[in-house]
Chain A
Amino acid sequence: MTLKDTLPVLAFPHPAKPRKHADPDQLAKAIAALRGALESETRRATADTPAQEEATPESFSPVGTPPTAPYKVNAAPLTRVEDTRTDALTRRITAIHLPHFAMERWLRWSTQHSQRPPEDLPLVLATEGTHGPIVYASNRAAEVEGVHIGARIVDMRALCPNLRIEYADVGGDQAALARLMLWMRRWCPWTATDGAAGLVLDTTGCDHLFGGEAAMLRDMEERLAGLGLSANLATAPTHGAAWALSHMGGVREICTAANLIPRMNALPVRSLRLDGGTIQLLHRLGLKTVGDLIAVPRISLARRFSRAALAQNPLIRLDQILGQLAEPISASEEPPRFSVQANLPEAVQDPTAHLPALCEALCAQMAKSGFGTRRICVTVFRTDGEVREISVATAQASRDADHLLKLFDDKLEKIDPGFGFDLITLAATVIEKLNLHQSRLDGEGETGAALAQMIDRLSARLGAKTITRPRSHPSHIPERAEIWATALHAPAPIKSPAIKRPIKLFDHPEEVRVLYAVPEGPPAQFVWRKITHRVVRFEGPERIAPEWWRDMPGTRLRDYYNVESQTARRFWLYREGVLGDARGNTPRWFVHGVFA
């Protein structure tokens, strides 16, 4: 990949957006920050793996499997000690801590069901612990009474007799947090969950779109408060520092690279994301703050914690917080390279009116870089903190705005708008290199384009599974010799056997009652769909043995007959097994197909 390709997509300022244009100074600063971050990371990567760069072609990824390449920004080995601090500190990471996420989610649920308890009633959410239920989350009234998280419910009930206990939905909280993480992509493309109640965003170069970092953080906090969530936010050059400031710093604290070390010096060692045992040990050693830890010689710390797990090693955590050790944000998928968005002044229910302009903008972006899309995805960011998306696929890379727009024709009705959404994103999730070409001088009849577009339209409306092409499969069993693959894939050459085969084949062979002269011979008469057919002429048998490498043991062979009935209709019958093959009773007969 070239340097440009790893560039996260900037939020595209829609022409009709209500907010004012970004300040040019801020824009310049953001671009400089982004470029610095990318350059430092590329430099580090080339130092690590000099020959690996050209390996990944940028163009192809098959439909249905969006690129699952892991975050490729150079997860440096944990043992690096060389000083890359000034380079790594150009990134801007925002950490969001949701201290009462589980309780606030439960309260929102109870409000929706008109069961919200009064504010002064002590309330806890319980979950199963090792020795009975323990406190998972508590409200303010319970905290005042002395209830704390992790304590056993029986103890807390003794402390506070009128405690109300509800069961926590831990899995539901995780799922809600994952959905919230997707919703946070309205601010920047690269987001991930961070622990049980935290989110982390790579906002490098995104803040100028929202009027600077302070304004962006205020915007985030306001919108989260609108969802009923209290949040502590902080922006810092490293993930560790942002986490520490969001948990232990001030309100919406912003830490620049210059004052990173002085700010970190003052924080307690708890801000290093260590477990309780390690923190206790550090306290016993008299190391109360990060500054104390920095003052200790490295070699002593390394020797003292040589056996600690990497995540619990204070030295590693110290390096991460100060940017000496890279700690990339591992988003679940790579942000799309081409993406446009429309910011709406107020929430709407129907995205149809905004799609044409978005399609045009996306196609213009792709045309500029010589790419086409195989799959595009409309995402709406709802005002209630949810994200809904609809994607369509194409059989051939395309950047024809009209065509792409038409694929969404009946689909947009299926999007669930909730109480409305105020941001629409259109992203090309699977892209392919698409160069301009002209196959004929008169410029008409580009081969394959019309066919591919027809398949796209059919697939978009009827579902990709219903549009199929036959494909040869090396098998003697008739129904396995041709398999139906979705037509969105490229057609495969098909080989027809020289043997006579029926024109229609039933999905499931239909059993018939048969009269025959000898059990091993051809049928004389059979009853199929309540109609008696007398066999006038027949051809066969053609014996097809089961595939022992695939079929269950005990599968019987098939003897196929091509018969003509007295009404001149021609069928393909088979007898399953022969009498005395020790694989069952009297063989059964089936109609499998119809001849011309």
Chain B
Amino acid sequence: MTTLKSTTQRLRARAKTVAIEATLAEVFSDHTSDGASIAFAAAHLNAGGKPVLWVQDRLSRKETGRPYLAGLPNAMQLIHVDVSNARDLLWAMEEGLRCPELGGVIGEVWGDPAMLDFTATKRLALRSEAHNVPAWLIRHAGHPNLSAARLRWRVGSLPAMNNPYDAHAPGQPLWRAELFRARWRTPGEWVVHHDRDGLHFDHGIDRQTAPLQREAL
């Protein structure tokens, strides 16, 4: 006798066979001036010498600043695009996703613009998967409304690790990353840090198996 499977279970089963390398992910954060969400997305882009297209709308640039290359991980090559509204931002991101010579596309949006609906995000996701260019949408001051992003993260800062050389100084930064919606993975919550070897997800909590621990955290 075969058991009936839900769509989610089917998709997760498919994820084990099909390796989706690049897709659209969204990152939310509780504080707009938190650098964790940017750093988390940038750390994911293992561009391998390819340039990264970084699109910012005007409010994001004014409120959260411009990317500073000296602080970005592993000598990322940047092409920065400065747009004034969400329409141009989505268009620039789609143009970038069509170019396979890019190592990734990061878009920073402020708030919940009406342009950024399910259709727009679905277009981004399909483009990203078709051309194998990862896309990261950073939603400053945004709400997790309807979206076709395959992965949706909520990222915040945690107190940094101790600095081995200075007891008063913050050391290696730590982030709390919560994957609250995922298409091919199990949602969960982790303590993340990034070093030369890459991203490390520690203290993982699977929300479906352990809902109580999550509330306790």
A binding-site residues for B, Cβ under 8 Å:
445, 447-448, 450-451, 453-455, 457-458, 461-462, 466-470, 478, 481-482, 484, 487, 491, 494, 496-497, 499-507, 529, 536-539, 562, 564, 567-571, 593-596
Contact = CB atoms under 8 A, between A and B. Distances in A.
Contacts of B31: 567, 569
A570 B174 CA distance: 11
Contact of B33 (A462, A484, A494, A529): A529
B204 interface: no
B157 A466 contact: no
Contacts of B33: 529, 569, 571, 594
A450 B99 contact: yes
Interface stretch (B10-18, B36-44, B142-150, B181-189): B36-44
Contacts of B99: 450-451, 453-454
A147 B157 CA distance: 86
Given A447-B101, A458-B95, A595-B35, 19 more contacts: A450-B100, A453-B99, A454-B96, A454-B99, A466-B81, A466-B83, A467-B82, A468-B79, A478-B70, A494-B75, A496-B69, A503-B72, A504-B68, A505-B68, A506-B65, A507-B62, A564-B159, A571-B33, A596-B175
Contact of B157 (A462, A469, A568): A568
17 contacts: A451-B101, A454-B53, A458-B81, A458-B96, A462-B81, A466-B83, A467-B80, A468-B81, A469-B77, A469-B80, A482-B69, A501-B68, A501-B70, A503-B71, A504-B38, A567-B157, A596-B38
Contacts of A467: 79-82
Pick the 8 closest A-B CB pairs, nearest first: A596-B39, A504-B65, A539-B169, A501-B70, A505-B68, A501-B71, A503-B71, A594-B35
Interface stretch (B110-118, B120-128, B160-168, B205-213): B160-168
Contacts of B159: 536, 564, 568
B62 A470 contact: no
B102 interface: yes
B111 to A, nearest CB: 16
A564 B35 CA distance: 12
B168 A537 contact: yes
B80 A470 contact: yes
Interface of B: 31, 33-36, 38-39, 42, 51, 53, 61-62, 64-72, 75, 77-83, 88, 91-92, 95-96, 98-102, 156-160, 163, 166, 168-170, 173, 175, 194
Contact of A484 (B80, B158, B175): B80
Nearest to B31: A569
Nearest to B68: A505
A468 B82 contact: yes
B68 A596 contact: no
A570 B35 contact: yes
Contact of A593 (B68, B102, B173): B68
Contacts of B91: 461
Given A538-B168, A570-B173, A596-B36, A451 B51 contact: yes
Contacts of A494: 69, 75, 77
A447 B64 CA distance: 34
A570 B95 contact: no
Contact of A594 (B34, B82, B95, B163): B34
Contact of A462 (B34, B39, B88, B170): B88
Contacts of B96: 454, 458
B141 to A, nearest CB: 13
Contacts of A539: 163, 166, 168-170
Contacts of B71: 500-505, 593, 595-596
Contacts of B168: 537-539
B65 A507 contact: yes
Nearest to B39: A596
